[in-house]
Amino acid sequence: MSLFTAENLSVSFGGIRAVDGVSFDVDNGEVFTIIGPNGAGKTTIFNLVSRIYNPTGGRLMFDGADITAVAPHKIAALGIARTFQNIELFEHATLLQNLLLARHAHKRSGFFSELLFLPSVRRMEIEHRAAVEHVIDFLDLQQYRDSLIVNLPYGVRKVTELARALCTNPKLLLLDEPSSGLNVEETEDMAFWIQDIKTVLGITVLMVEHDMTLVSAVSDRVLALNYGKPLAIGTPRQVQNHPDVARAYLGG
C-alpha cells in the first residue's frame, strides 16, 4: 500500500517549469530516492511535499488524505518530517533544545499554563524529553546533548538534523542530500542509520541524494529526474542502466 503519492505534480516559477508532471508513489516501509543532475527539481519536489511551495498543478496524497492545500506548519503533525540540504538547525540553542523543538507538533499545553509552568506542562516536558532521549540513544548523540549547535562540527550537525526530524515521530521522513559534505566514513554511518530507520523504526524514507554508492546501498526504488521531468523509475540498478539517465548525466 502506498503511503505517499504525487500525481502529475507541477510547479512553475515565472516561465520556468521547475517540476513538470511528476508522478510517483512511495510504498509503506520503503526507501525511495530521487536522483538527477543539479537543477533537476529534486529539492523543489521536497519543498512541495513539505508545503513550502504551492504546486501549480497536480495532487499530493499522504496516508489516504489529500495534503495539496495543507498549511506548512501542519505537515509535521500529520507525520511528515524533513531535513534540509544546507543545515537549518537552531544554531544558538543546545542540541537538546533543537530536538525538543521537534516535539512541537505534539504539544498540548496552552499559553497560560506555560506562563505558570503548571504541573501538566512539567509532565509534558518530561514526556517530550523521554521521547527525545530515545532518538539521542538511537543516533549516539549523548556527548553533544548540552552543546550549542554553533560549536558542533559539520558531521554532527548533519546527524542532529536527522535526529530532529526523527523526534517528530514521522511516518514519512524526507532527507534532502543526507550525505552532502560528509566524508566516506560518515557517509557509511549515514547509510547504516537510514537502513536502521527503515528496519528498526519502520519509517518510510523519501530521499534526495547524489552519492550513488549510498543510493544503491539503501534504496528500494529510485526516480531519476531531469529538467523537472521524470526520466526513469525502478530499482537502483535499472535506473542506473537506463539510457536516458546516462544521457542526462553524461550528455550525448
Site for other proteins, rule CB under 8 A: 47, 50, 52, 71-77, 81-82, 84-93, 96-97, 100-105, 107, 109, 111, 114-117, 121-122, 125-126, 129-130, 133, 150-151, 154, 164, 168
Closer of 126 and 184 to other proteins (Cβ)? 126
Closer of 115 and 250 to other proteins (Cβ)? 115
Closer of 108 and 243 to other proteins (Cβ)? 108
For the CB of residue 28, give the shortest distance to other proteins in the complex, in Å: 22
Residue 33 contacts by C-beta under 8 Å, 6 or more apart in sequence? 206, 207, 208, 209, 215, 218, 219, 221, 222, 223, 236
For the CB of residue 117, give the shortest distance to other proteins in the complex, in Å: 4
Can you give the C-alpha Rg of the chain in angstroms? 19
Distance CA 123, CA 42 (A): 41
For the CB of residue 68, give the shortest distance to other proteins in the complex, in Å: 17
Distance CA 201, CA 164 (A): 15
Residue type (1 letter), 218: V
For the CB of residue 40, give the shortest distance to other proteins in the complex, in Å: 17
* Alpha helices, H only, 145-242: 154-167, 184-199, 212-218, 236-240
Closer of 89 and 232 to other proteins (Cβ)? 89
